[in-house]
Structure 1
Amino acid sequence: MSGYETQPGFFEMCKNPNLDTTDWDWAIDPTGLEYIFRDIYCRYEKPLMITENGLGAYDELTKDGKIHDEYRIDYLRAHIKAMKKAMNYGVEVLAYCPWSAVDLLSTSNGVKKRYGFIYVDRTDDDPKECARIRKDSFYWYQKVIQSQGTDLES
């Protein structure tokens, strides 16, 4: 998505037909991440760090008590590959930190918009037991960390 100001302080979003979007219509653009990494690094020649990169989605707890979030794995994999591509061009990157480890409260979307590697079993209306359940992406990212980013496969 890109936006333009319709009135001072008010913006209207424009969908880029060449990009996929999240459940909340946020553009998914790993190529844009690589581009901006290279552009900023060329301008300022300072190491870069991603402090929050993640995908908010409607995660569903299956009957077998699991969360199969291949879409999150695909998102993170594509962005890590884009970052690595920028690094191959000489961009110095200090860290890549996904958002977030545990599902958290979204200021405008409650708990239905889930970001984490660990599912919190609750709804906006029912806190239930707040059980923590590791998603498929948890195990995938664990492998990414253990391999120091060399194993990005599921």
Structure 2
Amino acid sequence: MTTFKDGFLWGGAVAAHQLEGGWQEGGKGISVADVMTAGRHGVAREITLGVLEGKYYPNHEAIDFYHRYKEDIALFAEMGFKCFRTSIAWTRIFPKGDELEPNEEGLQFYANLFDECLKNGIEPVITLS
């Protein structure tokens, strides 16, 4: 086979905690990923009981997709993506996990993200994390 069949969804996949950053913005609550330190050769990552001074938590910034998603989606479109699989961070929608109503800022972030995908001809494929 030298070409993909019509309708083949060429794209990429990520998880919210891997790329979003913005860990304390838009009303987001804390998640396990937010208290997971960076590791290095010979030193495993650790999950701390909170955010500790002197520790580096790489997911706090990640690739700053929270602020740069429009640029990133444009790059995906330039690469020919037809789909983008990402997750919704539960802690961005229900920051403490016991709210009766969802966090409107979190909902708006994802609505804007999905609209940007569609504007660029990219089908969002969504999971919940």
Same fold (TM over 0.5): no
With the length of structure 1 as denominator, give the TM-score of the two structures.
0.35
Q: Which has the higher contact order (CA 8 A, sep 6+)?
A: 2
Greater per-residue strand proportion? 1
Greater per-residue helix proportion? 2
With the length of structure 2 as denominator, give the TM-score of the two structures.
0.40
